[in-house]
Structure 1
Amino acid sequence: MANSGKGTFQPDSDVHISFEDQQKINKFARLNAKVDDFKDELKVKQNDMKNLEEAVDELELVDDDCVKIPYLVGEVFICQSLEDTMKSLEEAKSKKKIEISELEGKCEELKSQMSELKAHLYGKFGSHINLEKEDD
């Protein structure tokens, strides 16, 4: 085999994956899927936050304090005063901020675990494993 130069990929080459390594690969995949789910949830919550901020901006333009504002609670609209509606929106915004920061914290924690696994797996398998996402 004079053609087996260093650095060339040989599909026949044996890459032995122990049970422990397979478990780490599986854990990485599960963490990656969780991060994707959290990112999707984060986008939804950020969109909700944007909608709440826009609602506050619109209500600041209302001149009449006596007007009743329909406010969605669950599946029902209730009519509230402008002041009560503004308080409700501010409470909803603060809750949404907390939810967003919790999700961001969870994502960072998972990414930290993933980077540890990635370092171990790349250290052991080198170019025989690909843990990077393919962006379409």
Structure 2
Amino acid sequence: MTSTNSKGTFQPDSDVHITYEDQQKINRFARLNAKLEDFKDEIKTKENDLKNIEDACDEIALFDDDEQIPYLVGEVFIFQNVEKTQKCLEETKNKIDEEIKHLKLKSSEVKETMSDLKSYLYGKFGSHINLEADEE
């Protein structure tokens, strides 16, 4: 004897009707979720770059003032003194810091929009929809 209402079997609910507008909102939520993941990856990369620059600054601080340091510009290395290199690294740090702030701002805007969509979709579909990200 088998059970017709087993836990692993999908039972479509006749009360759930998805309109075109609802499907558009679900699709928009999915696109925003993908964009949010891209932002998270980019923030992580930039934070790693920032840490590497900070490590380089710490190492350069130990050099003699007259030491010539190779500094990568585009595809070539130029040699410059410690002071100029520290200044360049500081400018790069500030630029990356601003980029991280910008990405975090955009990320929070996306999260806010997703929250609004999530409220609407859960309000309409309740437990018939899952919008939570899978935890790794």
TM-score over 0.5 (shorter chain): yes
Q: Aligned ranges for residues 69-84 of structure 1 at < 5 Å?
A: 69-84=69-84
Cα offset, 1:12, TM superposition: 3.4
Q: Secondary structure at the match of 1:43?
A: helix
Structure 1 residues 33, 10: closer, same or farther in 2, change over 3 A?
closer
What is the percent sequence identity of the aligned residues?
A: 60
1:34-93 C-alpha deviation (Å, 9 max, x unpaired): 00011111111111000000000111111x211101111111111001110000000000
Q: Aligned ranges for residues 1-136 of structure 1 at < 5 Å?
A: 11-14=11-14, 15-62=16-63, 64-136=64-136
Q: Secondary structure at the match of 1:45?
A: helix
* CA distance, structure 2, for counterparts of residue 61 and residue 18 of structure 1: 65
**2:107 partner amino acid:** C
TM-score (norm 1): 0.90
1:10-52 C-alpha deviation (Å, 9 max, x unpaired): 8132210011100000000000000001111111111100000
Count of aligned pairs between the two proteins: 127
TM-score (norm 2): 0.90
* CA distance, structure 1, for counterparts of residue 118 and residue 70 of structure 2: 51
Structure 1 unaligned residues grouped into runs of 5+:
1-8
* CA distance, structure 1, for counterparts of residue 25 and residue 70 of structure 2: 52
* CA distance, structure 1, for counterparts of residue 81 and residue 10 of structure 2: 73
Structure 2 unaligned residues grouped into runs of 5+:
1-8
* CA distance, structure 2, for counterparts of residue 126 and residue 47 of structure 1: 40
Q: Any runs of at least 4 consecutive aligned residues in structure 1 with deviations exceeding 6 A, and if so which?
A: none
Q: Secondary structure at the match of 1:79?
A: strand
**2:70 partner amino acid:** P
**2:108 partner amino acid:** E
Counterpart for residue 4 of structure 1: none
